[in-house]
């Protein structure tokens, strides 16, 4: 499968007029998803930025339900079952669009249960690495060293203390469920992301995409730099692009010709500011990123 | 056809006869066999439904409201800890105005842990915007599930309904039950068709969006007024049920109340015991009657006031307690006082965590009501009518037995 820009529909299914912050990557991501999915879509949103920034003007042109914070997987299960029972399943795209808090933390059980039961739906986690809607608290996806309001800098704290290697790796966790397709994606690589959405939607079963979504407020970046930061995450292999089919087959989608030092990524964001002149900390992070990249490259 | 069914089987039969399309439920004693019966109906092709074997009760109710919002008839069942786990999503089901029916085999809540019955689990969900019916025997379980669908789906109501029956006393006791045939049921309960917005590609809508203060209150008010207005719908449904099935039900069911000085009111299977106790007490010349509250939400204030009109003393049986206040049913009945002034209302808390409510219990309570009738004052607001004197100091029991 492949996606070409000239084939994308001009119409906007996620209407303009949304109340998201300037440069919100989650909104950019939603627009890309719907360019592929179109109006033949039912979307479930867990509680978070995306369910409040629709406003009234920015209503999507497809049926939509804001579930609760922790149950998007279960609500999608019910929709899938009802469509089947009512002989309406056809080729309706059933998509969950949920934050990392709603996915990695509080919604983990409902998601795990839903994919284990084999419902047909695409679950996209827009990962802004924290609870942003409630004002930037840490989540199970917050990276080592990041300063948030619940992993703050302090006299004896340097931000999030859980090592990068122990951050919950949702893509591999989902792959371990043995589901047909899981992938990482980035808003800085729209054709890659949209191809993944297209691939996932064609599958009659549960699929999962983890979309890195920089948050200008939570990460301390200039709104105009959202895409740049997302691109640098890939080019430093801090957030590599890869997909796993059948729960086993790894494929790295992009191998940067010259991997950039992770410092270049960290230095774009105020949440890591305190680490930049600490060579020991930078080394710890660089080594964790390298290890992960080596692992992936050998998969 | 007459069959020998447990309350749980009767509940499952009710869902089967209602031809539900999606069932999502999670096992918990004493509700478990409802889930098993439904799974076997689906496995044997006796019910053309999707059964979702969810991983928790929170997901059971979430999947159910997802399915209901997609426009199909749904069924769910739970109890106790499971029902408590659903709490947050119960508001979603009522707020989204979904006609879900849930069977509840009542069971007390931990801690300390128990699997036996009382009404704490469902009464603790009183304010979630669900209608609540409490039933007494297996026939009533089946019939009330059919009535519940008819009421919930009425466009004047569009609210979810809990059909509650006592764990073990009803869920696990088998009785002869008249199981109607599908054609009869269809006459009473037509095939489901959502005539309101659902998740539909042809008519896209957003659900559960933010409501700012200028809207929010009106949503709550509409829910409240629809629930109040559902009294009329329930009565119509019960009349129609009687016409088709020849069994009659009412929101407040009375027994020997016409000339009664003393009336005992309460919920659930213990009211069957009360009926028998009344027969015995009447034979000694006491003018005593009973009002069984079948519909707890909506609470039929006027009907109850009418039933209590002639009584001088009223005893409330509360198989529940709101610690620091009183039993929950008592508070509701107090609210009818506007309509029934000059009465003395006594609150009995009893039968918690499966403690048997026997004819003795009812006679003991009646003894107290007789004293009140002859003018004596009560020292306590809540009377633990069947207290176990040997373990009243539970801290001491803990020291000696548990350590
Ligand atoms: C059960 C429950 N707990 C807490 C909240 C408060 N809450 C709302 S959104 C949110 C954080 C959402 O984080 P995430 O899923 O990462 O999405 P984001 O805000 O980043 O878009 C929290 C904690 C809630 N709505 N429900």
Domains and CATH numbers, chain B: 2-245 (3.40.50.970), 252-401 (3.40.50.920)
Inter-chain CB proximity A82 and B52 less than 8 Å: no
A33-64 tens-digit pLDDT = 999 999 999 999 999 999 888 766 667 789 99
Rounded CA separation B79/B121 (Å): 7
Judge whether residue B403 has pLDDT over 50.
no
Residue range A115-151, pLDDT digits in tens: 999 999 999 999 999 999 999 999 999 999 999 999 9
Measured distance CA(B381)–CA(B290) in Å, rounded: 21
Note whether A14 contacts B: Cβ–Cβ < 8 A: no
The string of pLDDT tens digits covering residues A220-236 is 999 999 999 999 999 99
Task: Phi first, then psi: give them for residue B192, nearest 5 degrees.
Answer: -75, 135
Does residue A73 sit at the B interface (CB-CB below 8 Å)?
yes
Q: What domains can be seen in chain A, in order of their start residue? A: 5-297 (3.40.50.970)
Cβ-defined contact of A110 to B58 (cutoff 8 Å)? yes
What DSSP character marks residue B401? I
- For residue A59, the chain B residues in CB contact (below 8 A) are 206
Residue listed under structure tokens 């399915």: B67
Whole-number Å distance, alpha carbon B27 to ligand 1 midpoint, is 29
Q: Tell me what the mean pLDDT of segment B375-380 comes to.
A: 90
Mutate to test the interface with B, among A54, A73, A77 (most CBs of B within 10 A): A77
pLDDT-based confidence at B400, cuts 50/70/90?
low
CA distance B163 to chain A (A): 21
Percent of chain A exceeding pLDDT 70 equals: 98
The two counts, helices (H) then strands (E), for chain B are: 14, 16
Best of A81, A114, A116 to disrupt the B interface by mutation (most B CBs within 10 Å)?
A81
Question: Distance (Å) from the C-alpha of residue A1 to the closest C-alpha of chain B?
Answer: 26
Average pLDDT over residues B311-332: 97
* pLDDT-based confidence at residue A179 (cuts at 50, 70, 90): very high
pLDDT (tens digit, 9 = 90+) per residue, B165-202?
A: 999 999 999 999 999 999 999 999 999 999 999 999 99
- Tell me the mean pLDDT in the region A275-295: 97
N- to C-terminal Cα separation, chain B: 55
Asked if the Cβ–Cβ distance from A64 to B206 is below 8 Å, we say yes
Ligand 1 atom at minimal distance to the Cα of residue A139: 16
Distance A99 CA to ligand 1 centre (A): 8
- Full-prediction pTM beyond 0.95? yes
3-state helix, strand, coil in chain B (%, to 5): 45, 20, 40
| Candidate from A60, A75, A117 with C-beta closest to B66 | A75
Task: List the beta bridge partners of residue B383.
Answer: B348
Encode pLDDT of B200-250 as tens digits: 999 999 999 999 999 999 999 999 999 999 999 999 999 999 999 999 999
Closest residue by CA, ligand 1 atom 13: A131
In this complex, do A92 and B66 lie within 8 Å of one another by their Cβ atoms? no
A72 pLDDT more than 50: yes
Predicted local distance difference test score (pLDDT) of residue A58:
65
CA of A212 to the centre of ligand 1 (A): 17
A227 touches chain B (CB under 8 A): no
């Amino acid at each position: 499968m492949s996606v070409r820009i000239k084939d994308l529909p001009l119409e906007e299914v996620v209407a303009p007029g949304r109340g998201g912050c300037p440069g919100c990557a989650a909104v950019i991501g939603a627009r890309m998803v719907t360019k592929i999915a179109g109006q033949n879509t039912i979307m479930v949103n867990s509680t978070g930025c995306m369910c409040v920034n629709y406003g009234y003007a920015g209503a999507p042109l497809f049926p939509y339900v804001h579930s609760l914070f922790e149950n998007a997987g279960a609500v999608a299960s019910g929709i899938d079952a009802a469509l089947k029972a009512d002989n309406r399943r056809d080729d309706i795209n059933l998509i969950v669009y949920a934050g990392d808090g709603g996915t990695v933390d509080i919604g983990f059980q409902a998601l795990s249960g839903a994919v284990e039961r084999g419902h047909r739906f695409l679950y996209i986690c827009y990962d802004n690495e924290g609870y942003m809607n409630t004002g930037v608290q840490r989540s199970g996806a917050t990276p080592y060293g990041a300063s948030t309001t619940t992993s703050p800098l302090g006299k004896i704290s340097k931000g999030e203390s859980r090592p990068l290697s122990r951050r919950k790796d949702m893509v591999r966790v989902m792959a371990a469920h043995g589901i047909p397709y899981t992938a990482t994606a980035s808003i800085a690589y729209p054709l890659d992301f949209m191809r993944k959405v297209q691939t996932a939607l064609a599958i009659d079963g549960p699929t999962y995409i983890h979309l890195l979504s920089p948050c200008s407020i939570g990460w301390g970046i200039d709104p105009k730099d959202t895409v740049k930061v997302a691109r640098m995450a890939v080019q430093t292999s801090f957030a590599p692009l890869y997909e796993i089919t059948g729960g086993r087959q790894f494929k790295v989608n992009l191998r940067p010709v010259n991997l950039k030092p992770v410092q270049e990524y960290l230095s774009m964001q105020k949440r890591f500011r305190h680490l930049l002149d600490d060579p020991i900390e930078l080394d710890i992070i660089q080594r964790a990123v390298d290890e992960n990249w080596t692992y992936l490259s050998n998969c | 056809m007459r069959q020998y069914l447990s309350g749980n089987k009767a509940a499952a039969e009710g869902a089967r006869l209602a031809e539900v399309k999606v069932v999502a439920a999670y096992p918990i004693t004493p509700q478990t066999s409802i889930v098993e019966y439904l799974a076997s109906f689906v496995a044997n092709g006796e019910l053309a439904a999707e059964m979702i074997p969810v991983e928790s009760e929170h997901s059971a109710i979430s999947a159910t409201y997802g399915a209901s919002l997609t426009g199909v008839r749904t069924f769910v069942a739970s109890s106790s800890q499971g029902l408590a786990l659903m709490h947050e999503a119960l508001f979603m089901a009522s707020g989204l105005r979904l006609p879900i029916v849930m069977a509840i085999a009542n069971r007390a809540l931990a801690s300390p842990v128990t699997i036996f019955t009382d009404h704490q689990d469902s009464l603790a969900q009183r304010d979630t915007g669900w209608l609540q019916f409490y039933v007494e025997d297996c026939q009533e379980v089946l019939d009330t599930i059919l009535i519940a669908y008819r009421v919930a789906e009425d466009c004047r109501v569009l609210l979810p309904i809990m059909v509650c029956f006592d764990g073990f006393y009803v869920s696990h006791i088998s009785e002869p039950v008249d199981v109607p045939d599908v054609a009869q049921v269809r006459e009473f309960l037509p095939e489901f068709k959502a005539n309101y917005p659902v998740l539909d590609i042809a008519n896209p809508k957003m659900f559960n969006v933010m409501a700012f203060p200028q809207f929010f209150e009106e949503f709550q008010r509409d829910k409240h007024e629809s629930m109040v207005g559902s009294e009329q719908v329930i009565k119509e449904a019960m009349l129609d049920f009687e016409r088709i099935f020849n069994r009659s039900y009412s929101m407040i069911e009375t027994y020997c109340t016409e000339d009664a000085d003393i009336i005992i009111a309460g919920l659930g299977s213990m009211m069957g015991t009360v009926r028998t106790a009344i027969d015995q007490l009447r034979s000694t010349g006491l003018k005593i009657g009973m009002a069984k509250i079948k519909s707890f939400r909506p609470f039929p204030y006027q009907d109850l006031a009418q039933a209590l009109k002639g009584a001088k003393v009223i005893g409330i049986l509360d198989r529940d307690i709101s610690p620091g206040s009183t039993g929950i049913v008592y508070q509701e009945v107090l609210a009818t006082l506007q309509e029934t002034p000059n009465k003395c209302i006594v609150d009995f808390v009893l039968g918690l965590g499966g403690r048997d409510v026997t004819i003795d219990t009812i006679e003991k309570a009646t003894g107290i009501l007789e004293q009140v009738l002859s003018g004596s004052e009560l020292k306590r607001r809540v009377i633990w009518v069947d207290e176990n004197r040997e373990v009243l100091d539970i801290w001491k029991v803990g020291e000696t037995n548990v350590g």
